[in-house]
Amino acid sequence: MPQGVRRYDPDRRQRIIDAAIRVVGAKGIAGLSHRSAAAEADVPLGSTTYHFKTLDDLLVAALRQANEGFAQAVADAPALADPDADLAGALARLLGDFLAADRGRVELEYELYLAALRRPALRPVAAEWCEAASEALIPRTDPVTARALVAVMDGISLQVLLTDAEYDESYAREILARVLGGRAGSGA
């Protein structure tokens, strides 16, 4: 290609985000840099800094993409459309499916999510995820309970991930039912 001619590459930004997610998955947040993302995406270093001025900008894009999965799964859950469905049971199953599908992916999502503790630029994106998951639950419950359900699911997920424990769907259902105002065994 002649000097000074730009190659048309409309997917380059997305490839950089995907590469950043792979780098974080393999090396953790500490292993991510513009240089490591560029190498993984097989693009010039200048492309990463063109699309993402700072490393936080790149992390925000990666976190936003990683967060799409669970909130969308909650929004698409048939139990949310059926007022007679066992919401606690449906959420417990959904959480189990999420944790079992690709544990490495779940760990990556939480690593990006928890990076917001030290990187204030990520906090709005982490809050967006919580808000999206809560909003998806509001058709079946009130906003405060929806936020509590999301917090409980987060807590259970983190306990499973951090302790290498097996996910216990019946325990999750029991706790979620309690948040919803009933005991699991009482038909709530």
Token pair listed for 91: 């959420």
Mind listing the pLDDT tens digit of every residue in the chain (188 residues)? 445 445 677 899 999 999 999 999 899 899 999 999 999 999 999 999 999 999 999 999 988 888 776 777 777 888 777 888 899 999 999 999 989 987 888 888 888 888 888 999 989 988 988 898 899 899 899 999 999 999 999 999 999 999 989 999 999 999 999 999 965 443 44
Domains of the chain: 12-63 (1.10.10.60), 67-183 (1.10.357.10)
Predicted pLDDT of residue 124: 92
Token pair listed for 146: 């929806």
114-132 pLDDT, tens digit per residue, is: 888 899 998 998 898 889 8
pTM: 0.79
**What does DSSP assign to residue 62?**
H
Rg (CA), the chain: 19
Predicted pLDDT of residue 77: 81
The DSSP result for 129-150, as a single string, is: HHHHHHHHHTTTS-HHHHHHHH
Contact (CB, 8 A) for 17 and 31: no
